[in-house]
C-alpha cells in the first residue's frame, strides 16, 4: 500500500490563497504562522483545529513543514487541505454544513442538544462496525458506520 501523501503545492498559489483567506476573516496575513496563529485562521474558516491538531497532523505525516513553529503559507495551505480531507469541520451551524451527510448533521444536532446521538454505540465492537463498513454497498449506511466509528474513537490517540 502506497502511504505517500506527497502533492506538489505551488508556493505562490498557496500564498495568494492563504492571504485571501486571512483577509476574508479579518486576520493578518503572515509569512510565518505559529501553530496558534494557523489554528486561529483555520477556526475562523470553521475547521475544528487547535495547535494540538497541527502537532497531530505533522506527526502523522499529513504535511511536513520545515519548521513546525513557523509554518509558511504553503504549510498552512496544506493544513487546510488535510483538515478538509479528514472532514475536520466545526459542528453545525458551520459554513461546511452543505458538505456533511444527513447523519452527521443529525448527530451534531443531538450533541448540541445534550443528547447522546447513538444510545447503543457501546453494544457494537469496533470489529463489528468495521466489518459492516467494508461489507456494505449502501452509502448512507457506510456514512452512519463512519460516524459511529468516529464517535467510538473520539478519545483514541494513535
Which carries the bigger pLDDT value, residue 7 or residue 71?
71
| pLDDT at residue 72 tops 90 | yes
pLDDT for the residue 6:
67
pLDDT for the residue 127:
96
pLDDT for the residue 119:
87
What's the Cα-to-Cα distance from 11 to each of 15, 65, 80, 84, 129, rounded to whole Å?
A: 6, 13, 14, 19, 41
Share of the chain above pLDDT 90, in %: 87
Same domain, 16 and 72: yes
What's the mean pLDDT when you consider all of the chain? 93
Note whether residue 2 is domain-resident: no
φ/ψ of residue 125, rounded to 5: -80, 160
Per-residue pLDDT of 5-22, as tens digits, reads: 567 899 999 999 999 999
- Cα 25 to Cα 98: distance, rounded to the nearest angstrom: 20
DSSP string, 60-88: TTS---SSTTSB-HHHHHHHHHHHHHTT-
| pLDDT at residue 1 tops 90 | no
pLDDT for the residue 71:
98
Note whether residue 91 is domain-resident: no
Q: Grid coordinates standing for 76?
A: 498552512
Q: Tell me what the mean pLDDT of segment 78-95 comes to.
A: 96
**61, 85, 109: which is the final residue of a domain?**
85
Number of structural domains found in the chain:
2
Same domain, 126 and 69: no
Share of the chain above pLDDT 70, in %: 95
Same domain, 68 and 16: yes
| pLDDT at residue 76 tops 60 | yes
Note whether residue 94 is domain-resident: no
Note whether residue 78 is domain-resident: yes
Domain that holds residue 141: 101-152
**85, 117, 135: which is the final residue of a domain?**
85
Per-residue pLDDT of 103-156, as tens digits, reads: 999 999 999 999 988 889 999 999 999 999 999 999 999 999 999 999 999 878
Amino acid at each position: 500500500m502506497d502511504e505517500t501523501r506527497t502533492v506538489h503545492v505551488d508556493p505562490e498559489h498557496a500564498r495568494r490563497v492563504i492571504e485571501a483567506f486571512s483577509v476574508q476573516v479579518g486576520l493578518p496575513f503572515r509569512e510565518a504562522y505559529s501553530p496558534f496563529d494557523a489554528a486561529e485562521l483555520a477556526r475562523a474558516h470553521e475547521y475544528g483545529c487547535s495547535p494540538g491538531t497541527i502537532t497531530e497532523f505533522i506527526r502523522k505525516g499529513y504535511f511536513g513543514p520545515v519548521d513546525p513553529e513557523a509554518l509558511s503559507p504553503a504549510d498552512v495551505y496544506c493544513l487546510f487541505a488535510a483538515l478538509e480531507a479528514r472532514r475536520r469541520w466545526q459542528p453545525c451551524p458551520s459554513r461546511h454544513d452543505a458538505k456533511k451527510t444527513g447523519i452527521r448533521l443529525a448527530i451534531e444536532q443531538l450533541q448540541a442538544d445534550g443528547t447522546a446521538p447513538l444510545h447503543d454505540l457501546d453494544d457494537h465492537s469496533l470489529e463489528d462496525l468495521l466489518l459492516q463498513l467494508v461489507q456494505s454497498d449502501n452509502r448512507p449506511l457506510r456514512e452512519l458506520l463512519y460516524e459511529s466509528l468516529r464517535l467510538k474513537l473520539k478519545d483514541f490517540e494513535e
